[in-house]
Amino acid sequence: MEPAASSLSPDMIIAALILAISYILIFSEVIHRTSVAIIASIVMIIVGMLSGFYSQEAAMAAIDVNTLLLLMGMMMVVAMLRPTGGFEYVAIRMARMARGDGRLLLVYLSLVVSLISMVLDNVTTIIIFAPLTVLITRMLHLNPMPYLVAEAMLSNIGGVATLVGDPPNIMIGSAGGISFNSFLLHMIGPVLISWLCTTAMLLFFFRDHLKIKVSGSVDLDESRAIKNYPALWKALASLALVIILFFIHHHLDLYPSFVSFIGLAMAMALLRPRPEDLFGEVNWSVLFFFAGLFVIVGGVKASGLLDLAGHQLAVMAKEPDMILLTAISLIWVSALLSAVFDNIPFTVTMIPVILGLEGQGVNITPLWWALALGVGVGGNGTHIGATANIIAVTELENCGLSGAKISPTQWMRFGLPTMFFSLIAASLFYAVFFNFFL
Amino acid sequence: MDISLLDIAVSTGVAKTGMTIGQVFKECVMHNVPGIPYCDKNNRVVGRISIRHTLKISSTPGYLVGAAHLLGDDIWHLSTSKIDARSLLDMPVEKFVLENIATVTSVSPIVKALAIMEKYNTGYVFLVDAGIYKGIVTRMGVAKLMLKAEEL
């Protein structure tokens, strides 16, 4: 590796400007974020080629194909599972198990959503569970707001636990060469602590809503939820194969993306979906957004700017006594930024910075966990901190019930304390068991 | 079938600013049509009021539609979700205007009217000549015409 430049060069300034303008446009939502990512990536390549710091080949190499294919594969597996009605069945069963106890209902629904979010995309999970939750709470004469907020927040936290639970994790795992088992083993502790703290905080904040004596009953027939039992079993068998392979993929030398495609191939063979329909379910906009970001950040890295930034960070992180402080700082900076901005651009930018530290003699392993924890838990602070939050807020707006709507300020009133409390708990866990994260 | 759409168009009144949903529903029920045009002060068609759309946004929230196949019969309390019938009928039409309008002219062939209904997933299309509303063509009207032609 070439030694990092000690001062800003014109190439770095140009690349930084393109990055800054594109991120401002992405965060301000003036133009759709995918359009911004594609336009800015093309600008970065052209400018980089003219200035001589970037090339088409380098741009292609900057795209993390493993991340994109893993996301695509899982999207298609979920697309085949979703219409079977399995999610609806589980939601109704949970509502019955709560036996009219508002607090138990919140815990059960959130627990299921969190567990599903550990292996499937939590946005899809919330899209399915949110309208059902509104219906169930309406039947029980309960305000749906606490339930949707809890599902969104706890699904965000659940997703942090695994390599495939959250797009930032997929990127971190892919860049750091982290296995599914290692990710789960390291993250389950802080995630469990954060989950319990968040649940306790939400039960406290919403105590007035939840202690109301439930008078209605859940008049929903779960036996009609599953539209096609053979299809459900086939889709579940494919998903089970994916999960089993995730646990052993590092022993078999299989990329996580390849594992998802093995499950996808099995589901396609068993369910025989129309490829046109299946590909229509892929969120291409998200995939191209990520690809664009990889190219943009690849250009900034090629300009040498990230190495320069990493060099400054390395001075601090290289000291064995300072690595814990660096990691804790990373958790909090990531969390605070992720509470306000989309956590994907931040993750994509931080990954090469952290990778660059490795070449400067820093043990980067604890920084991967810190980054995953920070960007994952930080999203709960505001209603725009995570896509699941936005879906919950939108569903509450659209359900037309007075008292169910939640304003951004209201979200922050319990989102920020919940985020801080769970981050403090996770940071303490991380610090106490720091040797485990090294 | 060499017949003008004017032959099967149902002539109805139109919705205008200041009218209520109740008045629009009365007009639709009287002529057995699923919707009527919404016209500006110069009588130009600028939108439509549809019974289906009005009931959808006023009384059928998305969470009920998504789980319709799971619903039991003991859900009476959910029917008053947004607004009751009386307040809906008293509401001004402006809140329910749909801006997308499917139109044909009196010289359009029936097959064109059917194709437009299919494309826009609707059961009716407005017959408009030079911006002025002449009537509404429904699938039911086309079916009646076909039966009539067979009798002749």
Give the integer Cα–Cα distance in Å for A304 and A2: 10
d(CA A381, CA A361): 34
Put simply, whether A222 touches B (Cβ < 8 Å) is: yes
Cβ pair B67:A401 closer than 8 A = no
Rounded Cα distance between A422 and A192, Å, is: 10
Token pair listed for B54: 């009005």
Closest chain B C-alpha to A78 CA, distance in angstroms = 18
* DSSP assignment letter at B104: E
For the stretch B136-145, pLDDT in tens is 999 999 888 8
**Banded model confidence at residue B152, pLDDT cuts 50, 70, 90:** low
Given an 8 Å threshold on Cβ–Cβ distance, is A399 in contact with B70?
A: no
Going from the C-alpha of B2 to that of each of B106, B110, B149, the distances in angstroms are 12, 9, 11
Q: Would you state the structure tokens that stand for residue A306, as one six-digit string?
A: 């990230």
Contact residues, chain A, for B82 at CB < 8 Å: 400
- Among A391, A332, A370, A384, CA closest to A121: A391
Is the ipTM, as predicted for this complex, more than 0.95? Answer: no
Best mutation target among B57, B59, B63 (most A Cβ atoms within 10 Å) is B63
User: Distance from B74 to chain A by nearest Cα, in Å?
Assistant: 6
Residue A224 has pLDDT above 90, yes or no: no
Q: What is the pLDDT of residues A73-96, one digit of tens each?
A: 999 999 999 889 999 899 999 988
- pLDDT at residue A237 is higher than 90: yes
Give the three-state DSSP class for B98: strand
pLDDT at B81: 47
Q: Is B69 on the interface with A (CB under 8 A)?
A: yes
> Average pLDDT in the A307-335 region?
84
Residue A99 per-residue DSSP state: T
CB pairs under 8 A between A and B: 51
Check CB contact under 8 Å for B61 and A400.
Answer: yes
Which pLDDT tens digit goes with each residue over A325-384?
A: 999 999 999 999 888 877 888 899 999 989 988 888 888 999 999 999 999 999 899 988
pLDDT at A321 over 80: no
CB within 8 Å: B66 and A131: yes
CB-CB: which of B72, B77, B81 is closest to A400? B81
Q: Residue B25 forms beta bridges with which residues? A: none
Of chain A, the percentage scoring pLDDT greater than 70 comes to: 98
Bridge partners of B129, per DSSP, are: B132
> Rounded CA gap, A338 and A316, in Å?
23
Nearest-neighbour CA in chain B from A138: distance (Å): 7
Give the burial string for A245-263 (b: 16+ CB within 10 Å, else e).
bbeebeeeeeebbbbbbbb
pLDDT for the residue numbered A311? 78
Interface probe with A: pick from B57, B65, B70, most Cβ of A within 10 Å: B70
The tens digit of pLDDT for each residue in A376-414 reads: 999 899 988 888 998 999 899 888 777 888 998 999 999
Q: Which has the closest alpha carbon to A278: A75, A1, A427, A12?
A: A75
Q: Does A25 touch chain B (CB under 8 A)?
A: no
CB contact under 8 A, A131 and B73: no
For the cut 60, the answer to whether the pLDDT of residue A200 exceeds it is: yes
Do residue A138 and residue B67 have CB atoms under 8 angstroms apart?
no
Within an 8 Å CB–CB cutoff, is residue B76 touching chain A? no
Within 10 A of A296 (CB to CB), how many other CB atoms are there? 31
Determine whether the interchain pair B74/A217 forms a contact, defined as Cβ–Cβ distance below 8 Å: yes
Burial class (CB in 10 A: 0-12, 13-18, 19+), A177: exposed
Q: Taking residues B52-64, report their average pLDDT.
A: 87
- Residues B12-30 have pLDDT tens digits of 999 999 999 999 999 999 9
Interface contact flag, A139 B66, Cβ < 8 Å: no
Closest C-alpha to A197, from A406, A434, A377, A433: A377
- In this prediction, residue A398 carries a pLDDT of 82
